[in-house]
Structures are given as structure tokens and as C-alpha cells.
């Protein structure tokens, strides 16, 4: 593309970063490869390559590039190195190396002992490693270093709830309610998780003035689902997706809502719409839910084919392996 052009130093890396911003990961990789050929800053270009490979779900390759980027630091630790280390831990976690992610977060904490984000993320990784006690200690440290952020309290609860520790996490919700800087959206999420759906609805309706915030739409819809009005919840999700068709989270929640309402064809369409979104961070959930939709439609042959591909990509999912045995019997 740039044959015959004279590029300024660092130009290929800059073009690669622009491609990342546009979620064009393959183009980004091509530019970073050119940057390497032209001896541009290796710390930056390897970091960029790692991010591009994560976008393409090549977590093993991303880990190699992030490590190569960090090796270029020469022992100097700047914001770039901290940022790269966080990316490295994420890639390790997504590649199934939970202990590796924990070790990387520990290294970050060793250099920045009051980094609340690192404590929180290490806690999440420890939960995935079935180490609740260590996770609880790290969550408390995250709160100690960032005590006034309501979103942190909510994120800690959500992490605990998703791993079967909702009772232990309820204290974080109550503590967050005592903070002075809570907006209506945050308050609505707190009420939702506390099971007070009427108050959650009131707060989230007030926060939904523009009807354009995906977080508000998601929680407001889930609140209506909890109140038994799945039809209105689905209409909220569908209305939002009309103007924002590339929101994978809303696609996924719409599909779940429609599954529970018996609208299996519509649910399958919602999951497949989400699967078509690039830079999709919930691909695993969408792929599994797509399989479930095919099961509800009694298309066990297609469900079985998709499940085999799913287990190949996510071999750690024991529930999926049990489901595969069921599909084989059909």
C-alpha cells in the first residue's frame, strides 16, 4: 500500500494503532510487522501486536508479544510497561493460565503496592482458581486503596456472585450504599443485586433518560425480567439494538430473555447477531448459548457439531463436556 512512499519514524506503529482503534486487527498486525522490519520502537510495536492478537483470539501469540514488549524496557518501568503487564495478565487468564495471571498481577503489585486495579483483578483470578480466602483479602485491599468508587464495590460483588459467593459479597453492596457519590445508575445496580427490584426500576428508569447507555439498558431490562415482565425487557433490548446493532452484551441478554420466553428462533437470531460482532469479549457465552438455542429447537445434529468446536476452543468447560454427552445420546 505504501510502496514508494516516504514514512516518518514510527509511522507503521502509528498506523497499526489506528487500525486497532478501528478493530481491524489483521491490518494492525501487518503494520506492526512492517514496523518491526523498519526497526521502530519494539516496546510499542510488540505491545500493539499483542493487542491485535488478543482481538483475533490468539492469546498464546499475544502472551509472547507482551513478554517481548516488556523485555525491551531495560529495567525501566513506565506507564507503558504497567499497561502492557495488565494486558499480559488478561491474555494469560483468557488462555487458561490462571496462575500465570495471578503471578503477573503480583508482579505489578510488587512495583505499585497501592494499585487497586491490580488487587481487584488478582482477586478475580484467585476466585477462578477456587481460592476464595486470597480473593477476599485482595478485594479488601482494593477497597482500602480505592474506598470511594461505587463501581469497584459493585464489580467485587458481581465477581463473587458469579462464582457462588453472593452471600459473602452482600456486605460490599451495603457498604457501597453508604457512599456519598452514588449516581442513579449505580444505585439501581445496587438495588438490583440486593433484590429490591422496585427501587432498582425507579433508579434505572431515571438514569435511562437518553435510552442510549448500554449499561443502563442492560440492568433495566434485567430488572424487568426479574419482575416478570420479559416482554417489556425484550422490547427494551430490541429498541436499543435498532440503533446499536453491534452491542454483543445486549444481543446476548436479549437471546437469554427470548429463550426463557420460548421464542427459540428469535433467541438464536439474537445470539448469532452477537457472534457477528468483532472485538467481542463474550464470545464464549454467545457460542454456548447458540448451542442451547439449537437444542431447544431440537436441532441436535447442529448443536452437537457446534459443541465439538466449542469444547476444542474451551476445553476447561466441564459443564459443556457433560452437555456433549447428552447431545451424543440424542
* pLDDT, tens digit, 9 for 90 and up, residues 15-58: 999 999 988 999 999 999 999 999 999 999 999 999 999 988 89
d(CA 145, CA 327): 48
Pick the closest to residue 120 from 101, 97, 94 (CA basis).
Answer: 101
| The pLDDT of residue 8 | 62
d(CA 223, CA 196): 9
16, 28 contact by CB (below 8 A) = yes
Which residue intervals of 38-78 are DSSP H helices?
A: 42-55, 59-71
The CA-based angle 192-195-198, given to 5 degrees, is: 70
Pick the closest to residue 217 from 256, 183, 258, 247 (CA basis).
Answer: 247
| The pLDDT of residue 6 | 41
User: What residues contact residue 91 under an 8 Å CB cut-off, 6+ apart?
Assistant: 50, 54, 59, 62, 63, 66
pLDDT in tens, 197-236: 999 999 999 999 877 899 999 999 999 999 999 999 999 9
Cell of 261: 420466553
pTM (2 decimals)? 0.85
| The pLDDT of residue 5 | 43
**Which domains are present in the chain?**
1-76 (1.25.40.10), 97-182 (1.25.40.10), 193-227 (no CATH), 229-330 (1.25.40.10)
Low-confidence ranges of the chain (pLDDT < 50): 1-6
Amino acid at each position: 500500500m505504501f510502496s514508494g512512499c516516504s514514512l516518518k519514524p514510527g509511522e507503521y506503529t502509528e498506523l497499526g494503532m489506528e487500525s486497532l482503534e478501528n478493530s481491524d486487527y489483521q491490518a494492525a498486525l501487518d503494520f506492526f510487522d512492517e514496523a518491526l522490519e523498519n526497526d521502530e520502537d519494539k516496546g510499542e510495536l510488540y505491545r500493539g501486536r499483542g493487542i491485535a492478537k488478543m482481538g483475533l483470539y490468539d492469546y498464546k501469540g499475544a502472551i509472547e508479544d507482551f513478554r517481548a514488549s516488556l523485555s525491551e524496557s531495560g529495567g525501566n518501568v513506565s506507564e507503558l510497561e504497567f499497561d502492557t503487564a495488565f494486558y499480559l495478565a488478561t491474555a494469560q487468564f483468557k488462555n487458561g493460565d490462571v496462575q500465570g495471571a495471578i503471578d503477573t498481577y503480583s508482579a505489578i503489585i510488587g512495583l505499585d503496592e497501592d494499585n487497586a486495579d491490580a488487587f481487584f483483578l488478582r482477586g478475580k483470578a484467585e476466585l477462578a482458581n477456587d481460592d476464595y480466602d486470597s480473593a477476599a483479602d485482595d478485594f479488601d485491599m482494593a477497597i482500602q486503596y480505592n474506598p470511594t468508587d461505587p463501581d469497584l464495590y459493585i464489580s467485587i460483588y458481581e465477581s463473587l456472585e458469579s462464582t457462588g459467593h453472593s452471600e459473602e459479597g452482600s456486605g460490599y453492596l451495603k457498604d457501597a450504599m453508604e457512599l456519598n457519590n452514588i449516581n442513579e445508575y449505580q444505585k439501581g445496580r445496587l438495588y438490583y443485586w440486593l433484590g429490591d427490584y422496585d427501587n432498582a426500576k425507579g433508579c434505572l428508569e431515571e438514569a435511562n433518560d437518553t435510552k442510549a447507555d448500554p449499561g443502563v439498558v442492560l440492568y433495566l431490562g434485567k430488572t424487568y425480567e426479574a419482575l416478570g415482565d420479559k416482554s417489556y425487557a425484550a422490547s427494551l433490548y430490541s429498541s436499543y439494538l435498532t440503533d446499536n446493532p453491534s452491542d454483543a452484551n445486549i444481543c446476548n441478554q436479549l437471546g437469554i430473555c427470548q429463550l426463557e420466553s420460548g421464542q427459540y428462533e428469535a433467541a438464536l437470531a439474537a445470539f448469532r447477531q452477537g457472534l457477528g460482532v468483532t472485538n467481542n469479549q463474550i464470545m464464549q457465552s454467545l457460542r454456548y448459548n447458540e448451542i442451547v438455542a439449537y437444542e431447544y429447537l431440537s436441532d441436535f445434529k447442529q448443536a452437537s457439531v457446534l459443541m465439538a468446536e466449542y469444547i476444542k476452543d474451551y476445553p476447561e468447560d466441564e459443564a459443556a463436556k457433560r452437555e456433549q454427552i447428552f447431545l451424543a445420546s440424542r
